[in-house]
Amino acid sequence: MEWRNHTTMVKEFVLLGLSQRREVQLFLFALFLFFDSLILPVNILIILTIWSSSRLSAPMFFFLGNLAFLDLCYSSVTPPKMLADLYSRQKAITYWGCMSQIFFLHWLGAAEFLLLISMAFDRYVAICHPLRYGNVVSKGVCWALIMTVWLLGLMHTLIQFIPIVYLPFCGPNKLDNFFCDINQIIKLACTDTYALEFVMFFNSGLATLICFLLLLISYGALLAKVKSSSTKGKSKTASTCVTHIIIVFIMFAPAIYMYCRPFQSFPLDKVVAIFHTVVFPLMNPMIYTLRNNEIKLAIYKMISKNKIWGGK
């Protein structure tokens, strides 16, 4: 069977969504719409504040701004389609719409994981080599790390995306979820996918688990060094490390649950997927902001300045 015929046999997939009951769907639509309308503007405000404030020029804030941007991009992949499906009675997604979700979910997700590793590197140099921090983590190095994050994320998703688009889909075409992902799409292929599942496990599951463990070890070592030091401001440094550890757990735990196991359905899949794709990405910058006085002060000054100009 030629590749160009694979896409014509199944032109769309049916997303069964979060619930089959109409009243539950409308309630979830209102809930997630309210959540997005509150959190999205706050995240945009964080990006604008870091971008415009000269006081927030340190590499840590540069990475926080990029994290907020990645979260906004990631949150634009599945939630809009999910909200549209919750409101309407038609819950189909085209073949290439489904493939696009897989492509961007894994590109942006991998880039975010790699960004967290870059942030861990930034904290390591700041804590362990403070005198060399300005030279090691320079502006050029920061931009190089960001470019590397995006490129490696792209490589990660291409390793999965290219084999998937060559799979033949003959039917059925129903996905028991509210978005497309590799662990469900592969099961619908009318061919043996054992070797491909093995590749996906290493590329997504095992790689995610290794990154998670390395980050925990590195931050654990940093916390131990901070507690043993006698420098001023060590409580603030320790608080920053704890915040980063919280984000690491928030981002990696659902991904490990979803990809470090056989590609089968489990009862908690939809719940974990909601937090992984909808809730947590929007909450990450919020957690950082609520624990960072510099960002809160910069936001307050920017809002106050705009009020003054608006009043004039």
The structural domains of the chain, ordered by start, are 14-298 (1.20.1070.10)
**Residue found under tokens 């896409």:** 7
| pLDDT at residue number 212 | 92
Rounded-to-integer distance, Cα 35 and Cα 31, Å: 6
Across the chain, mean pLDDT equals: 84
Q: Which of 215, 283, 281, 289 is nearest to 245 (CA)?
A: 215
Would the pLDDT of 1 be above 80? no
| pLDDT at residue number 242 | 82
| pLDDT at residue number 128 | 85
As a whole number of Å, the end-to-end CA separation of the chain is 69
Per-residue pLDDT reduced to its tens digit, 295-306: 878 888 877 776
Tokens at 220, concatenated: 């654990």
Per-residue pLDDT reduced to its tens digit, 241-264: 888 888 888 889 888 998 888 777
Q: Which of 285, 296, 250, 247 is nearest to 73 (CA)?
A: 285
Rounded-to-integer distance, Cα 252 and Cα 107, Å: 15
Per-residue pLDDT reduced to its tens digit, 224-245: 887 777 666 567 777 778 888 8
Contacts of 177 (CB under 8 A, 6+ apart): 15, 16, 17, 184, 269, 270, 273
Would the pLDDT of 86 be above 70? yes
Would the pLDDT of 5 be above 50? no
Q: State phi, psi for 19 to the nearest 5 degrees.
A: -160, 155
Q: How confident is the model at residue 2 (pLDDT cuts 50, 70, 90)?
A: very low
Highest mean pLDDT among 26-35, 40-49, 144-153: 144-153
Share of the chain above pLDDT 90, in %: 22
* Segments of 80-238 assigned E as strands: 92-94, 174-175
Rounded-to-integer distance, Cα 254 and Cα 201, Å: 15
Helix/strand/coil for 13: strand
- pTM given for the model: 0.87
| pLDDT at residue number 20 | 83
